[in-house]
Structure 1
């Protein structure tokens, strides 16, 4: 038996007025996903336990079968693993976004315009992060380049007794009441303020503004945590697992779970990614001996954060036509039973442009056991079946049994 998990990050949503009070999943042309839903099992799964923040970190741990309340030590350490940051047991890791802040007034009076600086290129970001390391780094603080706007800071013997806010949760809001609070928070805030002074007139940002692009004129520090320890996926499930993602967070989870990370050329973490390449890589991995492949697509989540209604619908349609269709057709040729699971990790509603902890729809198709469910795959249809997993991490056990 082969297993493929196709995850559309942030794919679930709430009814959108501009879509006739329907969700993107309800209006998207996704004939391949819906055809699997009609002969598969669908239902709802609550991936984020009550009391935990609705992040992609906790949600994807849950989807992969790891109880976040037991294994979660923070978001940034998982990303730090992926980008090769050196981390000791008494170190603290932070996510370091390159963001766009409004340009007028004092730092506290600024508004956060974009959590991704118009999805700055990794090449541009690398130069900016190295520039910040030169002026803000020291024996205690180290900056590490990640991908696009997503980077890491390692603070040797740092403190996690801080209250930090994800930048995508406060888009278009004044930042004053969301600045760092708690032990040593003054040091974190100082780095953010100094980064603005260093970056606002950097040649890269001057060129970006000349091109009509938003400047990466500040860092935003969040996602604190300590070094994670996960039981290996193979020991947990007796299956060889692989991860395909453009996102450092997912790659870091895979490293912590001792899964194979598969790199695909042209993947970006947004709607302009190499969907076909991810699908082909998944099939190649299964043919090469992997039992389970986790295919992660960030595009719906990014569209949700950016409030891009049409693009969120389009991203779902691209996943359907370029990933699901290919994987299903190729699996049919293998002459071996297989299962496909499709779900988001969490909702990213367009109306609020950030994550929520509501249950999300799941779909499981088993080539050896077709079910006449006769429903489409969306939030409302999946609710009607009565299938519910209130502990999200139990869904993987069910899928792989």
Structure 2
């Protein structure tokens, strides 16, 4: 049996007045996702427990079959694993976004989709001026970077109760009340504050401003945590897996659960990603794994920008260039199952992640069809197939 998982990140949404009361998923032309719904079952899953942050870290951990109540230790450690950064028992990883803040308003949580080369130059300056023994800035992809704090035995610089705020939750909002709170918050805030002066006249920003682009005004620190201990997927579920993604969070999760990671040329983690290449690489991987997982960030990015037309465009590209070809290839392999579901809702209205159920559509050679024939939030809400604890979806999907 071959298994395929397609994750259109954050695609679940609410009805839009501009779409005549439809959600972006309902308004999008997604015949291949609808074909899965018609041939199989529609349901819903809640991947984020109410007391945990509604982030992709918790949500994707849950989606992949791991209870965040047991395994979640923070977002940044998952991304550290993607970069091959080893964390000791006293070390902390901290997400280090490059952002644009003007008059205490989060104008861009991506610093205008800053390039990886520009980010690297800024982080090198941060390392030279703010880093040192036990303080390591690690460039990642675009605005997504890391700060590693090497702790000492017996010390507790931070805690899991240290409060930080994801910058994507602050789009076009004041950041005044969203700086770190709790143990270690003073140090985190100081690093953020010192980076403002450091970046003000940096050559990267001088050039960006001259080109009409937003500058990276400072680093924003959040999502800190310690190294998690995840049971290998093969030990939990008896299946091998491979991950296709352009996002370090998912790369890190894959590494920590023992999945191979497939790097696809042209996969950007943004709206300009190469959907067709992702689809083809997924098809090519079917011969060498039990489970292939394709994660696409574009729908989430469109939501964070509040761009409904781009969200629909991304959904249609995922449907045409990934879901359709992959489903057709699975049928040729013989027995199979395929599921499509986002990790969490991301509302275009609020431009941020939300708690709540997401729709899922699942079909396969051994799945009996239900009465639903379209993949959307409305049908998901009406279905009797519900995973109130989202991590219980995976054993259902795998039939184990």
| TM-score, normalised by the number of residues in structure 1 | 0.96
> How much has 1:372 moved relative to structure 2?
4.7
> How much has 1:58 moved relative to structure 2?
0.5
1:342 match: 340
2:243 match: 243
Give distance in 2, aligned partners of 1:171 and 1:208: 20
Give distance in 2, aligned partners of 1:210 and 1:341: 46
1:114 match: 108
1:132 matched to 2:136? The reply is: no
The answer to whether the 8 A contact 1:37-1:373 is kept is no
1:152 match: 146
Give distance in 2, aligned partners of 1:18 and 1:204: 39
2:94 match: 94
Give distance in 2, aligned partners of 1:369 and 1:95: 41
RMSD value over aligned CA atoms? Answer: 1.2
2:376 match: 378
Mean Cα deviation higher: 244-253 or 377-386 = 377-386
Q: Give matches, 1:66-85, under 5 Å.
A: 66-85=66-85
> How much has 1:15 moved relative to structure 2?
1.0
Give distance in 1, aligned partners of 2:34 and 2:268: 26
Give distance in 2, aligned partners of 1:271 and 1:26: 20
> How much has 1:84 moved relative to structure 2?
2.3
The answer to whether the 8 A contact 2:127-2:136 is kept is yes
Give distance in 1, aligned partners of 2:380 and 2:373: 8
The answer to whether the 8 A contact 2:285-2:292 is kept is yes
Q: Give matches, 1:262-341, under 5 Å.
A: 262-287=262-287, 289-334=288-333, 336-341=334-339
2:154 match: none
Give distance in 1, aligned partners of 2:11 and 2:68: 21
Render the CA deviation track for 1:25-60: whole Å, top value 9, x for unaligned.
010000111111111110111111121111100100
2:202 match: 202
The answer to whether the 8 A contact 2:372-2:379 is kept is no
1:222 matched to 2:230? The reply is: no
> How much has 1:395 moved relative to structure 2?
0.3
Give distance in 1, aligned partners of 2:359 and 2:15: 15
The answer to whether the 8 A contact 1:83-1:145 is kept is no
Give distance in 1, aligned partners of 2:279 and 2:234: 22
The answer to whether the 8 A contact 1:95-1:221 is kept is yes
> How much has 1:370 moved relative to structure 2?
4.4
Q: Structure 1 stretches of 5 or more lacking a match?
A: 105-109
1:358 match: 356
Query: For 2:267, what is the secondary structure of its paired residue?
Result: coil
Query: For 1:243, what is the secondary structure of its paired residue?
Result: strand
The answer to whether the 8 A contact 1:244-1:295 is kept is yes
1:107 match: none
> How much has 1:377 moved relative to structure 2?
0.5
Render the CA deviation track for 1:273-324: whole Å, top value 9, x for unaligned.
011111111111111x200011100011111111111101111001001101
> How much has 1:382 moved relative to structure 2?
1.7
**Count of residue pairs brought into register by the alignment:** 393
The answer to whether the 8 A contact 1:338-1:366 is kept is yes
Q: Structure 1 136/371 Cα, relative in aligned 2: closer, same or farther at 3 Å?
A: same
Query: For 1:168, what is the secondary structure of its paired residue?
Result: helix
1:400 match: 398
Give distance in 2, aligned partners of 1:396 and 1:329: 22
Give distance in 2, aligned partners of 1:365 and 1:305: 30
| TM-score, normalised by the number of residues in structure 2 | 0.96
Render the CA deviation track for 1:240-267: whole Å, top value 9, x for unaligned.
1111100000000111101101111111
Q: Which runs of 4+ in 1 moved over 3 A?
A: none
Give distance in 1, aligned partners of 2:162 and 2:347: 27
Render the CA deviation track for 1:135-162: whole Å, top value 9, x for unaligned.
1101121111111110111112231252
